Amino acid sequence: EMLAMATRKALVPQVVSGRALARKVASAPARLRGQAAASVRVRRRVTTTRLQATSSNGDTLGVIIVDHGSKKKDSNEMLDAFADLYKRKTGRDLVEVAHMELCEPSIETALTKCYSRGARDIVVAPYFLSPGRHIKQDIPRIVRNAAKNYPDVNIEIAQPIGLDPLLAEVIESRVKAASEEL
């Protein structure tokens, strides 16, 4: 039961302020700076109820789904397809995709699009499974740099996908499909 409780707690999308992240990382001891970006104090939680188009303060909420990025067009198009699925499932309209590197749209480009569509609260949702270097260092750095151009925007970075019972079901469906080919 403790594991289940810990897993449920880990599944709640937790976010941190881009500005708070920069302050927290800068004030962290050197040995912890790499970890600080992913383990800073949670400022608020993002609820993902259907048709929620505004943040807790009433502003228009933008979502940027960010993956690594690839030189392969098919891989990048998969993120577009996921964003469409996400929009249909959540009822959110202001959703942009971004690639951390290698191709457009970049995080800065997606942020600009969200801003031009009226978002003043933006959640950057990493389309990554685990909290590695990109989650702990690269994405926060890129977001921090892009945020400098938008001082009136509150930007939060959600945790990566992480452990979720639904992922076990997805993997099992893939295992079953592959085992039928044996």
Give the phi and the psi of residue 52 in degrees, each rounded to 5: -75, 115
DSSP state, residue 181: T
Give strand pairing partners of 67: 99
Whether 99 is a known active-site residue: answer: no
Contact assessment for residue 9 and residue 161, using Cβ atoms and an 8 Å cutoff: no
Give the integer Cα–Cα distance in Å for 94 and 177.
Answer: 35
> Of the residues 40, 65, 68, 146, which is catalytic?
68
Distances (CA, A) of 15 to 1, 140, 173, 182: 25, 12, 30, 43
Distances (CA, A) of 75 to 6, 66, 102, 140, 141: 33, 13, 12, 23, 24
Contact assessment for residue 158 and residue 2, using Cβ atoms and an 8 Å cutoff: no
- Which residues are designated catalytic? 68
